[in-house]
Amino acid sequence: MTTVAALKQEPAPIRACTVSRDVQNFDLVIEDMEAEYGEAWGDLTFNDAMLFLSQPDAVTLECVAIALDDKDEADLARVSELIKQAKALGIKVILIAEEVSPIILHQMLRLGADDFVPYPLPEGALHEAIERTRQPAPVALAEAPAPAPEPMTGASPTFKAKGDRDGVVLPVHGLAGGAGATTFAVNLAWELATVAKKDGPRVCLLDLDFQTGSVATYLDLSRREAILDILSDASAVDSDAFIQSLQTFNDKLHVFTAPAEMLPLDIIGPEDMDRLITMAKTNFDFVVIDMPKTVVPWTETVLHQAHVYFALVELDMRSAQNALRFIRALKAEELPFEKLRYALNRAPKFTDLSGKARAKRMAESLGIDIELMLPDGTRQVTQANDHGLPLAETAAKNSLRREIQKLAKSLHDLNKAAEAGKA
C-alpha cells in the first residue's frame, strides 16, 4: 500500500512562475529558475498568468518573475494589471528587463514590483533578487535607533552658495554622434565626486545640450522647470538660484540637467554662459560640462573657461573629418585649441595591432595626439545608462569604468598639488 500511495502522490506545488511573451527569448532565465526551484516552477504567457492568478492554486506562489523586452512596451496595461493582481495576493514580483526604458521600468516598480534585474542576467543576480524578496519586512521598534538616511537623489543641494572656490572646468565634446561623450561626462563626474572617502571634492555636472541632452536619463533625474527659468533669464540669476536649480545624485554629485523641452541652443548668449560657468566653478571644485555636438556662439566662452577640453572621437572616417573641421574652425578664430585633449572611444585592445596602427595613422593625419584610449565598455554601458546609474554602481570592474576612474584620480591629484602650491 505504501508503494501504491507513493505512486499516487500529488506533484509538488508550484512555488514560482515566469511570465513572458515567449520564455525562449530569455533562455538564461530558464536555467536560473531551474537552479532555484527545480521542478517547482512554471512558465506562463501574460494571458495565462492572468487566468492562473484568479484560481485557488495561485496561493502557493511565492514569486512571479516577469520578463520584458522593448517589444512589450506597447502592452504595458496588461503588465500593470498583472503586477496589481499578484500584489493583491501577496505574491512577490521580480522584473527581468532587456532594453526596457528607465521610465517604464520605474512605472512598474511604482505599481508594486519588488525588485528588478537586467537581462542578460549577471551571474547570481536572479538568485539574489529572489533572496531579497524572501527577507521579512523590518519591524519598527520604539527603542531602536533611527536608521541612517538613504542617499538622496533628485533633492536640491543643502549647502549655501559662498563663492569661495575656484573649480576646474572640464567640458566634454563628442565630435560625432554616438561617440560616448555623455557616458564619459557622467562617469567622470561621478568618479571625481567619489574619488576620496572623506572630504572629497564638490562636483557639478552641467548638461548644456538643451535639445537632446540625456544626463538626466543616465542618472534617473527629473527635468525641472527651474532650468528653463534660468536659461530664459540668465542675466538675473544669482548663485543661490543657480544652486537651488541643481539636483543631487546619491548625495554626492550635483547636476544641472537639460530642460524638459527642446530649446534653441542660442537661448543663452556668451556673456550669460560665462556667468553660469563662473557661478558653478566658484562653488565647486570640479565642473564637468556635457557639450552639444553643434558649435554655437558660446562654445568659445566654454573653451576659454576650460582647463582641459575633452574631445571624443571614434576610429572612423566621420570622426576624423569632424575633428579636422573642428580644429580648422578653432585655428581660424585663433581660439585656444591647445586645451583640447583627444579621447578615442572604443579604442583597439592591446592585442589588436591592426586597430592600433589605424589609430596611429588617424592621429598623424590630423596632427593630434590621442591621449586617452577608452576601451569598449560593451553592453554593460548601455545597461547602466538605461538603469540610470553610473558604471561604478552597476559594473565596477568594467574596463571603461576603470580607465575613467584612473583619469579622475589623476585629475584630483593634480588639483590637490596645484592647491598645495598656491598655499
Segment 97-103 mean pLDDT? 78
369-410 pLDDT, tens digit each: 999 999 999 999 999 999 999 999 999 999 999 999 999 999
CATH number at residue 283: 3.40.50.300
Instruction: Specify whether 172 is located in the same domain as 126.
Output: no
Instruction: Specify whether 177 is located in the same domain as 123.
Output: no
Q: Is the pLDDT of residue 3 over 70?
A: no
Longest dimension (CA), the chain: 98
Domain count, the chain: 2
Q: What is the DSSP letter of 139?
A: P
- The answer to whether residues 63 and 15 touch, using CB atoms and an 8 Å cutoff, is yes
Instruction: Specify whether 235 is located in the same domain as 129.
Output: no
Q: Is the pLDDT of residue 38 over 70?
A: yes
What pLDDT is recorded for position 154? 61
What pLDDT is recorded for position 2? 40
pTM, rounded to two decimals: 0.66
Structural domain boundaries enclosing 99: 13-134
What pLDDT is recorded for position 11? 60
Last residue of a domain, one of 134, 156, 191: 134
pLDDT band at 285 (very low <50, low <70, confident <90, very high): very high
Instruction: Specify whether 175 is located in the same domain as 123.
Output: no
Q: What is the DSSP letter of 267?
A: G
Instruction: Specify whether 324 is located in the same domain as 212.
Output: yes
- The answer to whether residues 301 and 276 touch, using CB atoms and an 8 Å cutoff, is no
Q: Is the pLDDT of residue 216 over 60?
A: yes
Instruction: Specify whether 123 is located in the same domain as 181.
Output: no
What pLDDT is recorded for position 343? 96
Do the domain assignments include residue 162?
A: no
pLDDT band at 273 (very low <50, low <70, confident <90, very high): very high
Instruction: Specify whether 266 is located in the same domain as 344.
Output: yes
- The answer to whether residues 28 and 20 touch, using CB atoms and an 8 Å cutoff, is no
CATH number at residue 83: 3.40.50.2300
What pLDDT is recorded for position 283? 95
Instruction: Specify whether 205 is located in the same domain as 354.
Output: yes
Instruction: Specify whether 106 is located in the same domain as 244.
Output: no
Instruction: Specify whether 234 is located in the same domain as 320.
Output: yes
Last residue of a domain, one of 114, 134, 154: 134
What pLDDT is recorded for position 63? 87
d(CA 201, CA 413): 11
Residue 279, C-alpha cell as written in the block: 557661478
Instruction: Specify whether 376 is located in the same domain as 275.
Output: yes
Name the E strands within 133-200.
168-174
Q: Is the pLDDT of residue 5 over 60?
A: no
239-268 pLDDT, tens digit each: 999 999 999 999 999 999 999 888 899 999
Q: Is the pLDDT of residue 144 over 50?
A: no
Closest CA to 206 of 310, 101, 281: 281
Segment 186-215 mean pLDDT? 94
Do the domain assignments include residue 19?
A: yes
Last residue of a domain, one of 113, 134, 155: 134
Segment 175-202 mean pLDDT? 94
Instruction: Specify whether 94 is located in the same domain as 223.
Output: no
